[in-house]
Amino acid sequence: MFVKDESCRLGLPAFKALGASWAVHRTLAERAANGEGQGPVTLVTATDGNHGRAVARMAHRLGQRAHVFVPQGVHPQAVAAIVAEQAEVTEVAGSYDEAVRVAAEAAAAPDAILVQDTGWAGYEQIPGWIVEGYSTLCAEIDEQLAADGVVDGPDLVSVPVGVGSLAQAVVTHYRSRPSERAPALLSVEPEAAPCVLESLTLGALVSVTTGETIMAGLNCGTPSSIAWPHLSGGLDAAVAVTDADSARAATDLAAAGVASGPCGAASLAGLRAVLTGVGAEERRRALGLGPSSVVVLLSTEGIAANPHAGADH
């Protein structure tokens, strides 16, 4: 078992900077190529914490402004971290989906650009660039496993899922090489926000009503429209886990030397849910797993990314 540790990506405590940096770069480059205004723009986004902070960091580094919308339930320390990146922060009285809606409205203002990590009809290019940025993580996994002697790649990859953009990158990476042995791919969500699991069960993209969870970055009610076709056709298994399972997994990862927040630890919690308990042997066979299998867990955030982690376990 290997853990892809994203607790310090580009100086931030989560993987989100990979997507935000590439999308902001492409957005500003296209704006310049089209001869649009030379002055600064406002990069607008909604976030449960990590994506907004990454967009704010990139905006500040590149001399742009940032306006970040956060839903109810985001920890004050996470909000403070975004403010510390010189961003304007607006708290929305509602869910993550509502914050996305409000951010999209705000981005209609002059010299404002929406940099959102979920797509919907008519808004697909920038989320696609974010997914491209995330694919860097998968290329690194290939290189790092090969350096450790695992030249055939993993047998299973466990991916925490919010709107599904990271999972889209993972599916695209591992399903784009038909000549090579493809791993089984497992998505993991909180029981409080199982939008991908519910969509897979029903066979169509649907929204769910979200509840409270310590897995704040995964607390999303609607899958990304551009991710959904990849998830429906590319995932081998999906599971939802409890806060208690995620907290226990984070504690066990810490004991093994990996500082993982609840979202990152969800990958271990989901793996345990699938590979143990009633029906585990059948599920192992379905996923093609045995005693010599290689599993990669994506730990998408460190403890510093989610202040809830310190408060709850």
Residues with catalytic roles: 16, 48
Q: Which residue has the tokens 């290019």?
A: 125
User: Whole-angstrom Cα distance, residue 173 to residue 229?
Assistant: 14
Structure tokens at 153: 């790649």
Strand locations in the chain (E): 2-5, 42-46, 65-70, 88-91, 112-114, 156-160, 184-190, 237-241, 295-299
User: Whole-angstrom Cα distance, residue 49 to residue 87?
Assistant: 12
Describe the strand order of the beta sheet including 2-5 as a list of residue ranges: 2-5, 295-299, 156-160, 184-190, 237-241
Task: Transcribe 106-120 into DSSP letters.
Answer: HTTSTTEEE--SS-B
User: Whole-angstrom Cα distance, residue 153 to residue 235?
Assistant: 17
End-to-end, the C-alpha distance of the chain in Å comes to: 24
